[in-house]
Amino acid sequence: MSPLTLAYAAVAGALLSGVVSLAADRFPAALRFGSFSILGAAGVAAVAAGVEELLSGTRITSQLPFGLPWLNWHLRLDPLSGFFMAIVGIAVIAVSLYGPGYVREFERPTRTADPAHSDGESHTHQSLAALGLFTGIFVAGMLAVLLADDAFVFMISWELMSVSSYLLVAYQHHNPANRHAAFLYLLLAEVGALVILLAFGVLAGFGGNFTFSAMRAAHLSPIWASVAFTLALFGFGMKAGMVPLHVWLPEAHPAAPSHISALMSGVMIKVAIYGLIRFVFDLLGQPQWSWGLATLAIGTATALLGVLYALTQNDLKRLLAYSSVENIGIILMGLGLGMIFIGTGHPALAVVALLAALYHSLNHAVFKTLLFLGAGAVLYRTHERDLDRLGGLIRRMPVTAFFVLIGCLSIAALPPFNGFVSEWLTLQAALQVPVLASGVLRSIIPIAAALLALTTALAAATFVKVYGVAFLGQARTRHVAHAREVSLGMRAGMGLLALLCIVLGVVPTLVIRLIDPITQQLLQLSPAAATARGWLWLTPVSPHVASYSAPLVVAAIAITFVVGYLLLHRRARSARRSDPWDCGFGGLNARMQYTSTAFAQPIRRVFAPVWRIDERIEKVQASPTRITSVRHQLRIGDWSWLAAYLPIGNLVLAAARRVGRIQTGSIRIYLAYSFFTLLLLLWLIT
């Protein structure tokens, strides 16, 4: 089968999985075994299509007799779309393994507050058919975006992806917070779609057609090219989670079911990155260095602010959502560096920067999907997302704890895991600034590189907090104390992604050779220098500048562990076992250990202007020298929401209230409106 045929099969399989799930309300097994099995097959087809396309390096085009009378559907599979199709397929396979066990939670009625009932509660049955149907449409929409070769098909597929994901965010609609998150997500998604449509409109206006081939042949003036780039960066950046357009992520990701959050954060925002790369590097022509500088600045701010906001979160899924903002910033930094190097005449360095952005897109899809699935497993067994109510899960859920540990080490960019490779490549690209003639660029890019290093350190602190508070220590609640390991399928989905975190980190040169056709397609150059010394060494620029050998790092770690184990095992025979030091207070308990809030406090003090902090401490004193209780309240606000979105929302509400005055409820006034409107129209026509 050709790669395009496999891609068609993937889209059809995703849609079929949704159709099969329509019977799930009466027969839950239709979703757990039928729908997820077909969805997994669709994921396998997507990975096969993507890998085969990357290996062949060809471009396959096709037309389908749909759409407008004068515009058929144009479809194309090339190395760039094949790479992102493989990314989507990997996440879909993991979710198809994980989903059958996780959706059992939705087969039980959900208790919701309802004053109309005598006991103050009602039981809501959630539709499994809707969950499976919109999941299939969501995956099909993402895959169709990657296959689109004209703006018409692209926008239809984009809307299919956006609307279906909105319905999934609103799936547990009995919760008002979820309805608010879904509305905010849909609003910003549609604004972003309109801006993307305008960007395509600029290219179509100069190219004379909506097909991507016509847009590639269009000749734009520098001003119009900059207008199109700005629109594309705004539209795709809003879907990707670029600061300050990121406010929907920390609202929508916690609201959606965990396996959907994994798809949204792991791969949907990568589809937005694909759209930006396709538009800027393929359709728009040669990027200008000023575009790269703007993208680099926005990416740096996105990465740093994203990780700072993540560090202060106590809600596990909300923390992971802000972490996605951080990683989108790192990807944008790589793309910005690539544009700068292209615009200044250094295409070989642009290859390194683009390679770093693509590799981090793959890596983030793997470890963030793993972490969201891990968060879903914790939520499934404990019904808790608040880190301050977790603890000690490494004893109750050891396999999940091991897989989440791999995800935390990967996202913290520690070798030999995959996150280190792509962030190291980004840093190496930034360190090549001496070749640039502009003194301004030679001054700005090292600052961005330093902030990237700071971001990486803060990310490590964030996930030390996550793992230490949630999995180590003692359980803080009864649910957590009685948690148990999740099903085999859920563990298999996480295990697949954990294995990929290791493989992508240990053999990066093999992955880079697989990505080689993309840089040849977009830049007409190959990253040959990166793999010049074989599979053992990664040399992004040249062996004399920088090199990294993940296999040797693994060997050194293994030798250290073996030697350390032998030494400790010999000493342990004569060691005396006892309880940890309790400072003379008696037996240790859960209240004596670090909380999530306390862990982040020192960094919160240092970077206090980044947030709007409302902190209150209330003390109840029985006497001037005796305090009976202390109550601590901490609220941390996002300045992007408070300074930009909230004022706009208030203006819209104020305007709506003024317009609402015409709704008097009197039929006579409504008839008068119609009468005078008719007179005005007659006067205008005549």
At 402-433, the pLDDT tens digits run: 999 999 999 999 989 999 999 999 999 999 99
Better-scored residue on pLDDT, 683 or 148 = 148
Residue 376's closest CA among 248, 270, 494, 459?
A: 494
pLDDT in the model for residue 574? 67
Q: How many residues does this entry show for the chain? A: 686
Residue type, 305: L
What residues pair up with 77 in beta bridges, in sequence order? 60
pLDDT for 585 equals 67
Is pLDDT above 80 for 450? yes
CB atoms within 10 A of CB 40: 22
CA distances 129 to 109, 124, 306, 544, Å, are: 15, 15, 35, 58
214-273 tens-digit pLDDT = 999 988 999 999 999 999 999 999 999 999 888 899 999 889 999 999 999 999 999 999
- Report how many helices (DSSP H) and strands (DSSP E) the chain contains, helices first: 27, 6
Using CA atoms, how far apart are residues 258 and 579, in angstroms rounded to an integer? 38
Distance CA 631, CA 68 (A): 64
In this predicted structure, what is the pLDDT of residue 643? 78
Please give the DSSP secondary-structure letter assigned to residue 211. B
| 615: β partners | 634
Q: Please, are residues 54 and 517 in contact by the beta-carbon 8 Å criterion?
A: yes
Q: Is the pLDDT of residue 278 over 90?
A: yes
- Among the listed ranges 81-85, 113-117, 548-552, 609-613, which one has the minimum average pLDDT value? 113-117
Amino acid 584: pLDDT: 67
Q: List beta partners, residue 124.
A: 110
User: Nearest to residue 319, comparing CAs of 245, 394, 372?
Assistant: 372
Cβ neighbors of 182 (< 8 A, separation 6 or more) are 166, 167, 169, 170, 173, 252, 255
- pLDDT level of residue 619 (50, 70, 90 thresholds): confident
Question: pLDDT at position 110, please?
Answer: 62
Is the predicted pLDDT of residue 631 greater than 90, yes or no? no
Quote the pLDDT of residue 118: 43
What pLDDT score does 673 carry? 82
Residue 607 phi, psi (nearest 5) = -105, 35
pLDDT at residue 615 is higher than 70: yes
What whole-number distance in Å separates Cα of residue 340 and Cα of residue 254? 36
Q: What pLDDT score was predicted for residue 467?
A: 94
pTM passes above 0.75:
yes
pLDDT score of 539 more than 50? yes
- What percentage of the chain carries pLDDT values higher than 90? 59
User: Which position has the higher pLDDT, 377 or 126?
Assistant: 377
> Which DSSP string do the residues of 42-94 spell out, in sequence order?
HHHHHHHHHHHHHHH---EEEEEEEEETTEEEEEEE-HHHHHHHHHHHHHHHH
What pLDDT score does 124 carry?
Answer: 59
When pLDDT is cut at 50, 70 and 90, the band that residue 117 belongs to is: very low
Q: Which amino acid is at 180?
A: H
pLDDT tens for 323-364 read: 999 999 999 999 999 999 999 999 999 999 999 999 999 999
Give the pair of three-digit tokens for residue 481: 């104390």
Report the alpha-carbon angle 315-319-320, nearest 5.
125
Q: At what angle do helices 316-343 and 347-382 cross, to 10 degrees?
A: 170
CB atoms within 10 A of CB 613: 14
pLDDT at residue number 36: 94
Residue 672 pLDDT greater than 60, yes or no: yes
Q: Label residues 96-121 b or e (16+ Cβ within 10 Å = b).
A: bbbbbbbbebbeeeeeeeeeeeeeee
Six-digit token string for 228: 């199109």
φ/ψ of residue 573, rounded to 5: -65, -30
3-state secondary structure 294-321: HHHHHHHHHHHHHHHHHHCCCEHHHHHH
Least confidently predicted of 101-105, 198-202, 275-279: 101-105
Q: Is the pLDDT of residue 495 over 80?
A: yes
- Whether the pLDDT of residue 112 is over 90: the answer is no
Which residue in the block uniquely carries the two structure tokens 């540990």? 405
CA nearest neighbour of 269 among 328, 310, 320: 328
Does the pLDDT of residue 119 top 50, yes or no?
Answer: no
Supply the mean pLDDT for the chain. Answer: 89
- Give the whole-angstrom CA distance, residue 512 versus residue 88: 18
Average the pLDDT over 668-681 and give the result. Answer: 84
Report DSSP state, residue 386.
B
The pLDDT of 10-31, averaged and rounded, is 91
Residue 204 has pLDDT above 60, yes or no: yes
Alpha carbons 73 and 211: distance in angstroms, whole number: 9
Pairing label, strands 60-68, 611-623:
unpaired
Please report which confidence band the pLDDT of residue 65 belongs to, taking 50, 70 and 90 as the band edges: confident
β-strand pairing of 611-623 with 626-638: antiparallel
Integer Rg of the chain from CA? 27
What does residue 414 show for φ and ψ, rounded to 5 degrees?
A: -100, 135
Mean pLDDT over 565-573 rounds to: 73
First-last CA distance in the chain:
65
Confidence band (pLDDT; 50, 70, 90) for 582?
Answer: low
The CA-atom distances, in angstroms, between 64 and each of 61, 149, 151, 155, 193 are 10, 11, 14, 16, 24
Beta partners for residue 611, in sequence order: 638
Q: Do 191 and 238 contact (CB within 8 A), yes or no?
A: yes
**In a 3-state reduction of DSSP, which class is residue 231?**
helix
Average pLDDT over residues 109-114: 56
639: CB partners within 8 A, 6+ apart: 610, 611, 612
Planar angle of CA 216, 343, 332, nearest 5 degrees: 85
Note the Cα 99 to chain centre separation in Å.
19
In degrees and rounded to multiples of 5, residue 527 shows phi and psi of -80, 55
Check the CA dihedral 545-549-550-553 and report its sign. negative
The DSSP output letter for 534 is: -
Top pLDDT among 578 and 379 is at 379
Taking a C-beta distance cutoff of 8 angstroms, is the pair 425, 355 a contact?
yes
Q: How far is the C-alpha of 276 from the C-alpha of 271, rounded, in Å?
A: 9
